Amino acid sequence: MFDRLTTNHFQYEGKQLATWYFTVAVVLFGAQLLMGLIAATQFLYPSFLFEIFDFSVARMVHINALVVWMVYAMVGAAYWLLPDETGIEVVGIKFAKLGFMVLTAAVTVVVLVYILVQVGPASQATIWLIHEGREYIEAPRWADIGIAVVLVGFLLHVFLTAIKGTRTGIVTVLMADMIALVGLYLCGMGYTDNISMDQFWWWWVIHLWVEATWEVLVGVFAAYGLIRIIGANRQIVEMWLWIEVSMLFGSGILGMGHHYFWIGTPEYWWEIGALFSALEPLPLVAMFIHVTYDWGKEQGIAKAKGEESAVMNTPALTWFFTNAFGNFLGAGIWGFFHTLPQVNIYTHGTQFTSAHGHLAFFGAYATILIGIFYLAIQGSNNITRLKMTFDGKMAWFLINIGVFGMTVALTISGYGQVLVERAQMGATWEAFFVSQDALWFVQGLGWRLAMGVVTLVGFVYLVKDLLSSGKSEIHEK
Amino acid sequence: MSKRTVSVWTDNQFWVRSAAWVTGFASVLLIWLTFDTLAQISMGTDEDLKNGIAKRVPGPTVINYKITYEMSDKRGHEVPVIGAKEKFFGRDDYTEEEAGALLELGKLGSQAKNCMNCHTLLGNGAYYAPDLTKAWLDPAWGENGPYLGMTGKNTKEEAMAEFLMYPSKYPTHERMMPNLGITAEEAKGLVAFLKHMSSIDTNGFPRNFGKKSTDLREKGSN
């Protein structure tokens, strides 16, 4: 895929390691889509794989593959950009490669246990060995500890490399953000009988990853990407990055309050959560403006000089730009839809949440990580100017149409569900199932499945493009 | 980097400092609120229940009492109300240890059986099956409710336990719950967990639980 995966073709071994992470990430991305299709089918045909491979299993692997492929791609991206930014090889690269092997072996075992064992008795042994049954962070305790150890090792590589080499603004933000990201993972490793306490700490991982530290990582990758792709001015890009950090952490950290409306936590989280989470879209608008402005500016300079284009990697820029808009649309708009407590008391835990989840994870993270895959294609094939192939265009169109289509379909389903289950019928067991048979609901889920298939076809094009684009003749060497 | 700076707004150092201060301030505020919240959501005790002290998360012996969900005029939404003693699997005298052990079994069971990847608990989880936050208070399991008759049991807790052990024997929809190998003891723990969860003060979520909009309209409130 990323040409010459196993040879010492790379100037830096850190970059070679990055391509290993990217390869596993793409495989897990595919697993995520397949599991999603199984779960989406079960919504419409509940007898599909009933008591063989139940919805709970498909859904667990669906969301875990999502989290893990993104973490893999992010760690890979960090290893990819470190040598460029610091000007030196990743310190302790042999150990970093060992860490990759250990992590990948652990992930494989965890997934196999999920799929083959599925559930265990109500005991601590299940929590330690099979899974923890806590959405998104289901990994069993043994794997939690292993992941934490490998992540701390990763932190060491980042820090030692940054200290030894040049410490740019981008690397500084990366260092600070990674400390927070790794530290927060520890908040999700405990056990308590108190479900309110359980969910309180659970959100420290989920929210502070997805709505704070991951978003800052996106800022880091966008900054690095703009410098590499269009030759944006480092001083301006890094200034923007610091502004984005202020805005993202300023809104995102206390925006956590929007998860504390209904889990047993006090009422003051209504005001705090509503206010700060309503501010969360602002940095996303800023990031969109930033990317658009820099693109236009650099393109203008290049044209004035009589050059063909400032863009050295068209597919990467396309995905980065999709990220800038998709982040705002999926995380910002679709998040704001239901973030106020007056709305959320009805929409909490319905297909609205699912709609937002799909577009937000895609718009905010999948897009930019795919963009970074293309940077790696360019780097690992020594291509000066990477152009868009037909397969690359198909991948972009189909994946975007697919995910946005799923989101709109789920939003309509969610609307039907909220009206019937929550507003009319009192949110009971019966109310839930009546809403699941409502016409709008069922049609929405039908379209979701169809759009899921479109997404999968787009993914197939993406894999084909990643495998073949490096050898295409259309690029400038 | 900042040698040629003419304005503070284009000075990276200014933005670095801003980022540090804003992040620091937000983090300190979050940690401060966390201390307050942790104190408020820590589990109550048997003493609290006996003395009528309302806790956001009551102690496990709440399973000895009748729980209802009633509109609070003061707070403007429904809150769980802990009432008189009520038998749970034939007893209303569970000690703190016994009730705690049942709750632990149930909470572990809820994780081990992966409830959250079909259902929502406190509104969080997957959306394939009904929300369980106030499932204990669902009228369908109450007196004259259809599910009591469906399982052929006399009490809500026995009916729920029976359903949990043999879910595909009692379909409530085309979309059925799979058999998860839940033992009788685990089922008892899970029902205790559900009863305990229904006593948690969730700030009125879910709203109007168990009330149809037509009922509310007749009473002239919404």
Question: Which pair of structure tokens corresponds to residue A91?
Answer: 């310190």
- Chain-chain contact of A432 with B131 (C-beta, under 8 angstroms): yes
Q: Which amino acid is it at A184? A: L
Question: Which pair of structure tokens corresponds to residue A474?
Answer: 């259309």
The confidence score (pLDDT) of residue B214 equals 83
Q: If contacts are CB pairs under 8 Å, which of residues 30-49 in chain A contact chain B? A: 39, 42-43, 46
**A427 at B interface, C-beta within 8 A:** yes
Tell me the ipTM for this assembly.
Answer: 0.95
The confidence score (pLDDT) of residue A10 equals 84
Percent of chain A's residues with pLDDT above 90: 94
- Residue A308 in this model has a pLDDT that exceeds 90: no
CB A214 within 8 A of CB A364: yes
User: Cα A105 from chain centroid?
Assistant: 22
Helix axes A55-86, A141-164, angle to 10 degrees: 10
Q: Burial of B40 by CB count in 10 Å (0-12 exposed, 13-18 middle, 19+ buried)?
A: middle
What's the rounded Cα separation, in Å, for the pair B185 and B195?
15
Question: Which pair of structure tokens corresponds to residue B221?
Answer: 């409130």
Rounded mean pLDDT of A185-197?
95
Q: Which CATH number does the domain housing residue B113 bear? A: 1.10.760.10
Kindly list the distances between the CA atom of residue A65 and the CA atoms of A32, A94, A352, B54, B164, in Å, as whole numbers in the listed order.
5, 26, 22, 42, 29
Residue A134: its chain B contacts at CB < 8 A?
Answer: 111, 116
Query: Total domain count for chain A?
Result: 1
User: Mean pLDDT, chain A, as a whole number?
Assistant: 95
| Claim to verify: residue B33 and residue B120 sit in the same structural domain | no
Cα-Cα-Cα-Cα dihedral sign, residues B81, B86, B89, B95: positive
**Residue B84 falls inside a structural domain:** no
The confidence score (pLDDT) of residue B1 equals 47
Q: Give B104 to chain A, closest Cα distance, Å.
A: 5
- State the residue range of the domain holding A127: 1-166
The confidence score (pLDDT) of residue B4 equals 62
Listed as ranges, residues in chain B with pLDDT below 70 are 1-5, 218-222
Rounded mean pLDDT of A215-220?
96
Question: Which pair of structure tokens corresponds to residue A72?
Answer: 């893999």
Question: Which pair of structure tokens corresponds to residue B114?
Answer: 């992966």
- Chain-chain contact of B10 with A239 (C-beta, under 8 angstroms): yes
Residue in chain A lying closest to B9 (CA):
A239
Indicate the residue of B30, B109, B116 with minimum beta-carbon distance to A256. B30
**A390 at B interface, C-beta within 8 A:** no
The confidence score (pLDDT) of residue B143 equals 86
**Residue A56 falls inside a structural domain:** yes
| Claim to verify: residue B112 and residue B19 sit in the same structural domain | no
pTM: 0.95
Q: What is the pLDDT of residues A361-419, one digit of tens each?
A: 999 999 999 999 999 999 999 999 999 999 999 999 999 999 999 999 999 999 999 99
Question: Which pair of structure tokens corresponds to residue A64?
Answer: 């875990």
Q: Which amino acid is it at A434? A: V
**Residue B139 falls inside a structural domain:** yes
- Chain-chain contact of A254 with B23 (C-beta, under 8 angstroms): no
Indicate the residue of A199, A269, A425 with minimum beta-carbon distance to B124. A199
Q: Give B124 to chain A, closest Cα distance, Å.
A: 6
The confidence score (pLDDT) of residue A7 equals 46
**Residue A126 falls inside a structural domain:** yes
Indicate the residue of A122, A132, A353 with minimum beta-carbon distance to B189. A122
Rounded mean pLDDT of A48-55?
96
Indicate the residue of A46, A118, A428 with minimum beta-carbon distance to B138. A428
The confidence score (pLDDT) of residue B213 equals 84
Q: Identify whether B206 is preceded by a cis peptide bond (ω within 30 of 0).
A: yes
| Claim to verify: residue B117 and residue B193 sit in the same structural domain | yes
**Residue A43 falls inside a structural domain:** yes
Query: Total domain count for chain B?
Result: 2
Q: Which CATH number does the domain housing residue A145 bear? A: 1.20.210.10
The confidence score (pLDDT) of residue A5 equals 47
| Claim to verify: residue B134 and residue B198 sit in the same structural domain | yes
- State the residue range of the domain holding B16: 8-40
Mutant choice from B25, B41, B105, B177 vs A, greatest count of A C-beta within 10 A:
B41
The confidence score (pLDDT) of residue B88 equals 97
The confidence score (pLDDT) of residue B7 equals 81
B16: Cβ–Cβ under 8 A, 6 or more apart, which residues?
A: A169, A242
Among A79, A133, A74, A68, CA closest to A106:
A68
Count Cβ atoms below 10 Å from residue A408 Cβ, excluding itself.
16
**A352 at B interface, C-beta within 8 A:** no
Q: What is the pLDDT of residues A243-294, one digit of tens each?
A: 999 999 999 999 999 999 999 999 999 999 999 999 999 999 998 998 999 9
**A433 at B interface, C-beta within 8 A:** yes
Q: Burial of A474 by CB count in 10 Å (0-12 exposed, 13-18 middle, 19+ buried)?
A: exposed
The confidence score (pLDDT) of residue A203 equals 97
**Residue B35 falls inside a structural domain:** yes
**Residue A403 falls inside a structural domain:** no
- Residue A3 in this model has a pLDDT that exceeds 60: no
